[in-house]
A and B are shown apart, each in its own frame.
Chain A
Amino acid sequence: MHYSPAPMHIPDGFLSVLVSVILWVISAPVVAYALKRVGQDMGERQVPMMGVLAAAIFAGQMLNFTVAGGTSGHLMGAALATILSGPWAAVLVMTSVVSIQALIFQDGGLLVLGANIFNMGIVGVAVSYAVFHLLRRLPGGRTMKLLIPGFISAWASIVASALAVSLQLAISGTTPASLAIPAMAGVHALIGIGEGLITVGALAFLAATRPDLLQPGREGAPAGRAVWVFGLLLSAGLAVLSPLASSNPDGLEAVAERLGFIETAREPLYRLIPDYLFPGISNEALATIAAGIVGILLVCGVILAAGHIRRGPEASNR
């Protein structure tokens, strides 16, 4: 029932454990800091505001429009959240959306949730913030100061998130860099246009109905230099790293090999036992068959037990 707008929510199994852990280690403190900052800046209003905004973004992702034939464009929402509520609040909002999508709707894995939060909640927000506020400095009327920065920052957030995803997939050795990066970047450069258009539409609507919501000072204390710099560095880093990685797949493979060592390098136990317990059948096959038998017995046993539980007296449940 819930469909993902673009291949951005990485499921479990696609990133190596180390990459997942590293991204958790990066995301968790950022989210913790965002909680602190929002507490300071917004105080009492934070909970109702963030919660409802997150719900709106989640629901907003349902709004689609036909691009061509069967394909449709959707909203990711990081840029809109950033423009409307400031970067730290947007981090929390996107974190909420991404977390619940993963936990309840299996849109994205649980172990790799740190990575998804990083890609959509941190990269998406930081890049859109930096781009938006950079472009706002240009002189001009409403179009120049709101709509064009809105469009470009929304587009940039999508492309940046996609690049981050592809780099993570490449480093995990799941998708070769030479393929992942151009593919993701190309597809999302197009999808980003959809995001930009919807964002602009929303901003135009709000500018007409509630311009007070778009006032720069509204977000509480300004985000400060840190977010700016981070966002710009991130954009620059992704822009440089991606073509580099893409054209040097071997280098990335070597890194992947090293980072994925936990899952790839170890020799399983049964290889140490003398090779053939049964003539003609390797130990690996034996172990696999044994596991298969155990597995089938387990499931059958549970089926019987479950049937018995349901037929018999109600098990005392809580």
Chain B
Amino acid sequence: MAVFRFTVNGEAREVDTSPDRPLLEVLREDLQLTGPKFGCGEGQCRACTVLLDGAPALSCITPVRSAAGKRITTIEGLAQGGKLHPVQQAFVEEGAMQCGYCTPGMILRTVALLERTPAPTRAQILEALNGSLCRCNGYPRIVAAVEFAARLRRSAVQAQEGSHAAE
């Protein structure tokens, strides 16, 4: 047992636990954040995706010790003040979910992709999301949602730049 401190969705958290426990289980069982999902336990489906210091991480194969001191974002931390993140908005508007179990992981992967590549081509989307499994096979709608999210995000950024320029 050891004490680990990190920031989860902007809040400082502390857990006293075994260092080898998967971060996924600490989030779900100790911190009651059930947004990240168990899908395989071997990093092969990405349902457990969270952002660690902004980069996508497979929380099912990440021991809690290696998250110490980091910034963790789960799906619960994405909407701000009740307002959906543009990627969440796009998934809603494009109907990019059937059962919805893979959705949190898909959304966080997309957030990370668009940070890096604001205007991805279809090929880049397929490449970035390839390891994220959806057994409902709702892939076409997810691709549509990512493309729409990119447009939403760009117009949000432009609006922000516009308002800065006006100041």
Q: Do A and B bind each other?
A: no
Residues of A within 8 A of B (CB): none
